[in-house]
Structures are given as C-alpha cells and as structure tokens.
C-alpha cells in the first residue's frame, strides 16, 4: 500500500465536504477520484498533499515514497525555456554527466596508479549513468514534450511567455520525466488536445508507479484506471474496474437500494394499517397486539431514500418547427489568418436528424468554422446554404452572447419577454439556479454556471439546428450525461465541436475531422474514427510536407461531398466482399481436407462410384478456389 487515507473529515462552516472518508492506493495501481463539481475532490487532494489541514483523520504514505502532484492551475515562473525547464528535472543526470566528462579529462594526464583509481570511479559512474537512462534522457524529454503537444520550435520559448494551459503542460511534463512513486493529477487533460490525451493514456497505462487522477474525461478514465473512488454527499466509496464498470455497478446498487426502500415503505404502511385496525377494535387483547407491533416497528432500522438521480440539470431540447431534410450545405469554404491557413476549399452537407461532431487538433480552425456558420466571422471563399425552415441555436464556449452587466433573471427575461416570472424561475431551477441565485450578476458566475445559463437559453430557443462549441466544458460527469440524454432524444439536427471522446461516442452519428486544412468524413462514432483515421487521412488529407503528393491532394480536396461518401461506400463494400470471399475460401478448404480424409478410408476407396463422386467434387472445389484466390488478391 503506497497511500492510505483514514477517516478524513473536512467542513467549511456548516457545509460538510468529506465525512469519515477512507480509501487506499496500492503500488502501481491506477485510480480515479470522481464526483460532481463542488463535491470536494480538489480539497481532498490538497489535504493529501498537506496544503490544507483536515478536521479529522489521517493520511499516510509508504516510507520513502516520492510524490508528484499536478494542481489544476500552475503559477510557473522561470528564466528558462520550455526545454531547459524540463531538462532541469534531470539535474542529477546532468551533474553525473559533468563528473564523467571531468574524469575523462583527468585520466588523460595522470600517472598509472592514479589512473587505476580514476578508472574504477569512472566505471562505477558510467554504470549508474546507464541505470538512470543517461544515454536516452534527452530523447525521452523530446518525446514527452511532443507527446504533450509542443512542437520543436516551441522548445526555445521562455516560460514567462506561456499561457496558463501551456504552463500546466510543462509542469505535467516535468512530473512524467521525474517518474515519482505516485502521481496525483488534478484534471491533467484540461489543456491537451485529443492526440496528446491519447499519448498520455498510453504513458500512464505503462507507468511503473501508482496514479491517482481527478478527471471528468470518461473515455480517458476508461482507458487508464482500474479503480474508481467516488466522492458523493460527503462520503467516499471505492469501485473496482474502469469508469464504465463503476457506472454500471453504481446504477445496479442504486436500483437495488431503491427497491429495498420501496419494499420497506410498503411493509411500514402495511404494519401501520394493521396497528390502526387493531386499536380500532378497542379490546385489551387487540390493543396489546397493536402495542407489540408498534414496538417492533419503532425498532426497525429505516432505509434512507436514495438521493434523486436528477439533483442535477434537467434539460429538455425540442424544436418548435421541423426543418427541411437538407439542413446545411457548405461549398468551397476557405479561411486563413495572416501567416496561417486554417482550411481550404472545404465542402460538406448535414441533413435533418444528424448528430455531427467536428474534431481536430487545437488551432485547426474548428471554432472559426462554427463562427463562420453563425455569421460572426466572414469566410475568405465559399458558400453556406441553410435549408428550409432552419432555426439555429448557437452555444458559444466563450459565452460571449451573455451580458456581464445583467443578472441571470434579466438575461432570460430580456431575451424571452413573454415568459412570466414563475416560468423563468421554474426553468432556472431546472438548471440549479434557485432562490436569490437568479439575481446574481453574469460577471460573477463561474465557467460552469455561465455554461448552465447558456444551455438554459439554448433550451428556450426551441431551435431545430443546434451548433455547439465545446458544450461539455466546465460540466461535471453527471451533467454531461444529462446533456447526452437530451441530445440523443432531440429530434432536430446537431453540429458540435468537442474534445470529449466519450461524449462523442455517446451522441455522434457522424464525425468530420479537420486535419491538414481539409475535412475527412467518418460515418460512425469515435471508435470508428480511430479505426479508419490513418487509412482515410492518407486518401483525403495527406500531410502538407509530402511534396510529391501536392497534385493528388489538390485534386482530392476538390472532391464533392457526395463523391467522398461514394468513395467510402465503395471502400465498405470492398471490405465486406473481401470478408465474404475469405469465409468462402475457408469453407472450401475445410471441405477439401474432409474429402482427402474420406478417400483414405477403406470402405470409400473400394467403392468406385463414391470415389468418382468425391473426386469430381474435389475438382470443382479446386476450380472455385483458384477463382476465389484471384478475387481475394484484387480485393485485398
């Protein structure tokens, strides 16, 4: 056991965050700490790191344990560059390397007796240098920096010029290079793009130490962790398995607990009715029996009613009118900023009822494309055509449509003046704004609260085409799941940008990948995209540095949306036909082997008619196999 927390308690005033919380982490174990926003996850990590005291309880690390902690926000100050800052993590290796170089110089000018002594030290230091990965530490640093999304030209950037997110990535890189016995990471994926998150998943899965992660990224947790520790209502509970296993087990336990509660309530009601009836007889014997039953009922240990599932947001998305079948057509869209081409000659269509996710690395132009669709930015070239009766509802990740000087109530009432005060209050209560909360200024709200106000306005819009930019940012897991359910039951059309792979898997019917200034279409969810990404990117969006493919890329970028879909349909048909041919070849080869075995049997080889029949069948099999082999080669 590398970390043990026993009976941790923490309150702020009358609010109890953690009550008698107990859990442990084994060596090499990968665990997640999850809970709703405000549940106390970061507070618990700070207690573990002794940044703040607990009211009660104890935290123990195994002896000589080295701990690495990544807080959500990093205030990193240094006169170094990114590379120098990461390199300083291996100062021990740098010092060792300097000693080895110094010994090499000394050995050139010393006597034989002194040389023997220096050689012994030199050999010992070299062995230690090799054990500490001294020959590969620089390439390891480069690998970590690139994995976390830094390009080689970024390596020389001064730390002081970096954004908060970039500083967090540098701090994470320092921890990964240092390799402490246990990593404690608070939202490590917040400032990473999809490729960097996928890289971090593999790194942590193979990490030799223990890991404790706070994260709302369910896909990431599914890949990395083998235990989930839930902080809910002040209580800590541990579940074996990844996030999906936890979610299933929690639902089963809650259902079982709720059934127990209902059964007990029925039994209590039944006993109370019997007691009332016995007392109504007003006889000594019946009264004694009623008193006996009442005593038993009073001693009964009551099961608490499980907390309602929807103590979170309640979202109902439904369009006021139905749009035409053709919702959006984009033709030849291009956009560039000084020194940066985002995308060029992009075309695509979206039809009614589709849920389309737009994905891509940071800086490829996803948010820019949504702003162009909403008329916030002009395109350089291209045409955007909206279908009949299309009404757009736009969710901006920066919430620029909100007015800082207004209260939450005014934000809603000014945009929807026909709603009564009661209607507005009821609607805001569904988004967890109750009582005087509705009079809070927009400027005073957190990111999550601003997101909830924007979602409330989106629900009221009754639009039939939702364009959403990172709708899950600032939402906790429970709120994400509620939004997923709302989108899945929504009968309109959705086009959204998201880095949340679990969310994409739950909601998307199609994925558009913005890569290499082009758009690649995937008719499936995120797992399908991962399966086909390498293959389709080579065809529709080859990397820019491949000079010998410039002409091919230019031609492919001009393919119409319909041509792309036809090409993918052909590809799927070819794959299906290939599988069918392989199956038939396997069947025929099995039958051919069976015939050979039959012909070797005494009762068959002496039967001329049966031998002739089997020989003719074998000849037919060989002829068909020859055709199938040729067909398989052309398909494969």
How many residues are listed for the chain in this entry?
Answer: 636
The mean per-residue pLDDT over the stretch 285-306 comes to 86
Per the CB < 8 A criterion, the answer to whether 473 and 447 are in contact is yes
Cα separation of 216 and 33, whole Å?
10
The mean per-residue pLDDT over the stretch 271-279 comes to 87
- The string of DSSP letters for 563-598 reads HHHHHHHHHHHHHHHHHHHHHHHHHHHHHHHHHHHH
Per the CB < 8 A criterion, the answer to whether 167 and 159 are in contact is yes
Q: Which two tokens stand for residue 468?
A: 């959403």
* Tens digits of residue pLDDT in 450-483: 888 888 888 888 899 999 998 988 788 888 888 9
497 Ramachandran zone, left/alpha/beta (phi>0; psi -120 to 50): beta
Per the CB < 8 A criterion, the answer to whether 493 and 353 are in contact is yes
The mean per-residue pLDDT over the stretch 179-189 comes to 92
Cα separation of 172 and 188, whole Å?
7
Cα separation of 88 and 36, whole Å?
37
- Of these ranges, 416-425, 555-564, 613-622, the one predicted with the greatest mean pLDDT is 416-425
**Residue 561 in this model has a pLDDT that exceeds 60:** no
40 Ramachandran zone, left/alpha/beta (phi>0; psi -120 to 50): left
**Which of 385, 386, 383, 370 minimizes the C-alpha distance to 333?**
383
Of 115 and 441, which is predicted with more confidence?
Answer: 441
Q: Which two tokens stand for residue 482?
A: 């509620």
Alpha helix locations (H) across 419-549? 421-430, 447-461, 477-489, 501-507, 526-540
Cα separation of 617 and 595, whole Å?
8
Of 333 and 97, which is predicted with more confidence?
Answer: 333
DSSP structure class, residue 323: P
The mean per-residue pLDDT over the stretch 73-93 comes to 85
| Helix or strand run (H / E) with residue 91 | helix 91-107
Residue spans of beta strands (DSSP E) within 218-374: 227-232, 235-240, 326-337, 340-351, 355-359
* Tens digits of residue pLDDT in 149-176: 888 888 988 988 887 778 888 999 999 9
* Tens digits of residue pLDDT in 382-392: 999 999 999 99
Rg (CA), the chain: 33
- Of these ranges, 63-77, 226-240, 425-439, 552-566, the one predicted with the greatest mean pLDDT is 226-240
Chain-centre distance for alpha carbon 188: 12
Residue 508: Cβ-neighbour burial (10 angstroms; 0-12, 13-18, 19+):
buried
Mean of the per-residue pLDDT values of the chain: 86
pLDDT at residue 98, as a whole number: 86
Q: What percent of the chain has pLDDT over 90?
A: 40
Q: What percent of the chain has pLDDT over 70?
A: 95
Q: Which two tokens stand for residue 492?
A: 């309109």
pLDDT at residue 544, as a whole number: 61
Q: Work out the number of other CB atoms within 10 angstroms of the CB of residue 187.
A: 18
pLDDT at residue 206, as a whole number: 92
* Tens digits of residue pLDDT in 10-54: 998 888 899 999 999 999 999 999 988 778 899 999 999 999 999
Per the CB < 8 A criterion, the answer to whether 314 and 428 are in contact is no
- Bridge-based pairing state of the strands 340-351 and 326-337: antiparallel
């Amino acid at each position: 056991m590398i970390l043990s927390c026993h009976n941790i308690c923490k309150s702020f005033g009358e609010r109890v965050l953690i009550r008698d919380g107990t859990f442990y982490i084994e060596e090499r174990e990968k665990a997640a700490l999850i809970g709703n926003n405000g549940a106390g996850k970061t507070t618990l990590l700070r207690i573990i790191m002794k940044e703040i005291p607990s009211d009660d309880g104890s935290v123990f690390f195994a002896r000589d344990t080295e701990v690495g902690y990544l807080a959500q926000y990093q205030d990193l100050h240094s006169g170094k560059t990114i590379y120098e800052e990461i390199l300083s993590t291996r100062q021990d290796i740098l010092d060792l390397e300097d000693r080895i170089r110094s010994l090499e110089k000394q050995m050139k000018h010393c006597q034989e007796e002194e040389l023997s002594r220096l050689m012994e030290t030199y050999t010992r230091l070299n062995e230690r240098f090799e054990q500490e990965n001294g020959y590969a530490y620089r390439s390891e640093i480069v690998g970590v920096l690139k994995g976390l999304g830094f390009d080689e030209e970024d390596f020389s950037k001064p730390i002081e010029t970096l954004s908060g997110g970039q500083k967090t990535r540098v701090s994470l890189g320092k921890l990964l290079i240092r390799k402490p016995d246990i990593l404690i990471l608070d939202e490590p994926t917040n400032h990473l793009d999809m490729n960097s998150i996928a890289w971090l998943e593999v790194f942590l899965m193979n990490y030799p130490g223990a890991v404790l992660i706070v994260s709302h990224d369910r896909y990431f947790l599914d890949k990395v962790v083998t235990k989930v520790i839930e902080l809910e209502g002040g209580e800590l509970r541990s579940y074996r398995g990844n996030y999906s296993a936890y979610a299933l087990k929690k639902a089963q336990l809650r259902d079982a607990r709720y059934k127990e509660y209902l059964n007990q309530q029925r039994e209590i009601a039944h006993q109370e009715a019997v007691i009332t009836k016995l007392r109504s007889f007003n006889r000594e014997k019946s009264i004694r029996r009623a008193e006996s039953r009442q005593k038993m009922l009073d001693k009964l240990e009551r099961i608490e009613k499980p907390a309602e599932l929807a103590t979170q947001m309640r979202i109902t998305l439904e369009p006021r009118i139905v749009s035409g079948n053709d919702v959006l057509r984009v033709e030849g869209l291009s956009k560039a900023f000084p020194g940066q081409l985002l995308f060029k000659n992009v075309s695509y269509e979206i039809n009614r009822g589709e849920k389309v996710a737009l994905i891509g690395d940071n800086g490829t132009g996803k948010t820019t494309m949504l702003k162009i669709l909403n008329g916030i930015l002009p395109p350089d070239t291209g045409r955007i055509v909206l279908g009949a009766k299309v009404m757009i509802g736009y969710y901006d990740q920066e919430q620029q449509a909100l007015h800082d000087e207004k209260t939450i109530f005014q934000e809603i009432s000014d945009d929807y003046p026909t709603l009564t005060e009661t209607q507005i209050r009821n609607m805001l209560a569904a988004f967890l704004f109750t009582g005087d909360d509705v009079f809070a200024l927009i400027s005073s709200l957190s990111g999550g609260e601003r997101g909830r106000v924007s979602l409330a306005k989106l629900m009221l819009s009754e639009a039939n085409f939702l364009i959403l930019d990172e709708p899950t940012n600032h939402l906790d897991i429970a709120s994400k799941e509620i939004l997923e359910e709302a989108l899945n039951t929504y009968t309109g059309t959705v086009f959204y940008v998201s880095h949340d792979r679990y969310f994409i898997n739950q909601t998307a019917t199609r994925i558009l990948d913005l890569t290499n200034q082009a758009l690649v279409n995937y008719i499936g969810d995120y797992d399908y995209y991962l399966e086909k990404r390498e293959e389709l990117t080579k065809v529709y969006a080859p990397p820019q540095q491949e000079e010998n493919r410039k002409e091919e890329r230019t031609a492919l970028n001009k393919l119409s949306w319909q041509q792309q879909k036809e090409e993918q349909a052909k590809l799927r048909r070819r794959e299906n036909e290939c599988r069918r041919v392989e199956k038939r070849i396997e069947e025929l080869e099995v039958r051919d082997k069976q015939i050979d075995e039959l012909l070797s049997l005494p009762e068959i080889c002496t039967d001329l008619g049966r031998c002739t029949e089997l020989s003719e069948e074998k000849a037919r099999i060989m002829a068909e196999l020859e055709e199938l082999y040729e067909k398989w080669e052309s398909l494969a």
